[in-house]
Amino acid sequence: MTTDKLLATQGYVVGVEISGSGSHLSVALADLNGTLLYKARHPLEYVPDSETVLRLVDDMFAEVAAPGRLQDGRLLRVGVAVGGLVDTTHGVVRTLHHAHGWDNFPLQEYLEEKLDVPCIIDNNANAVALAEVQCGAGAGERDVLYVGLGRGIGGGMVLDGKIYHGATCLAGEIGHILVKENGPKCSCGGFGHL
Ligand SMILES: [Zn+2]
């Protein structure tokens, strides 16, 4: 127990963000207090395929989690925020509406094998919602709905301090709610979505 406690107070975590088009990639190193120690960003001028994204994430991870930066412990977890539909229970990216090659991609297993560290993946709006509750605008709250206005409209819900995924992992995905019958085409292929 003592050893576990010691490790848990001296480790590091890495956060990865893959945007909905895959063209904005960020990888960051933090300590267990959430203090950002190092960050790499990689905006691309084009929409890359999934293989390109994964290769870049790999390179950025090697840069961010270089042994020289991990002086006071080991890397304990990697959290990945993805700008698409994510089945968190199974660690699978269901789809990215703005990029190809991601349908039913087992990202969690892929990264765990590649990086040799336990990984968690979730939708990026869900990840932001949780971050806001833990150390941002929603600090001290238990129930928060986060709405992100970007290229699309993302939503994430935190209930009782935890990300609420719902039965289909689509809870909080308000961007694809129908607001106008026969409205304009949405990136998901539907029509009239928010
Ligand atoms: Zn839609």
Q: Per residue in 96-111, pLDDT tens?
A: 988 889 999 999 999 9
Query: What amino acid is encoded at 23 in this protein?
Result: S
Residue 121 lies in a domain: yes
Rounded CA gap, 99 and 128, in Å?
A: 21
Residue 2 lies in a domain: no
pLDDT value of position 152: 80
Residue range 130-157, pLDDT digits in tens: 999 988 999 989 999 999 887 788 899 9
Q: Please return the burial class of 104, using the count of CB atoms within 10 Å of its CB with bins 0-12, 13-18 and 19+.
A: exposed
Bridge-based pairing state of the strands 24-31 and 12-18: antiparallel
Q: At CA 16, angle to CA 23 and CA 3, rounded to 5?
A: 170
Number of domains, the chain = 1
Q: What is the CATH number of the domain that holds 112?
A: 3.30.420.40
Bridge-based pairing state of the strands 119-123 and 75-82: parallel
Residue 31 lies in a domain: yes
pLDDT value of position 35: 92
pLDDT value of position 1: 42
Bridge-based pairing state of the strands 144-149 and 119-123: unpaired
Residue 87, token pair as written in the block: 């089945």
Residue 20 lies in a domain: yes
Residue 111 lies in a domain: yes
pLDDT value of position 8: 60
85 C-alpha to center of ligand 1: Å?
Answer: 11
Decide: 80 and 107 in contact? Cβ < 8 Å. Answer: yes
166 C-alpha to center of ligand 1: Å?
Answer: 18
More confident residue, 11 or 10: 11
Decide: 23 and 47 in contact? Cβ < 8 Å. Answer: yes
Q: What is each CA distance from 61 to 5, 17, 66, in whole angstroms? A: 26, 11, 8
The parent domain of residue 60 ranges over 12-126
Question: What average pLDDT does the structure give for the chain?
Answer: 90
pLDDT value of position 98: 84
First CA to last CA across the chain, in angstroms?
Answer: 50
Residue 177 lies in a domain: no
156 C-alpha to center of ligand 1: Å?
Answer: 16
Residue 48 lies in a domain: yes
State pTM to two decimals. 0.88
What sections of 65-164 are H helices per DSSP?
A: 107-115, 124-135
189 C-alpha to center of ligand 1: Å?
Answer: 6
Residue 113 lies in a domain: yes
148 C-alpha to center of ligand 1: Å?
Answer: 15
Query: Which residue carries 């600090």 as its tokens?
Result: 139
Residue range 12-67, pLDDT digits in tens: 999 999 998 889 999 999 999 889 999 999 999 999 999 999 999 999 999 999 99
- The length of the chain, given as a count of residues: 194
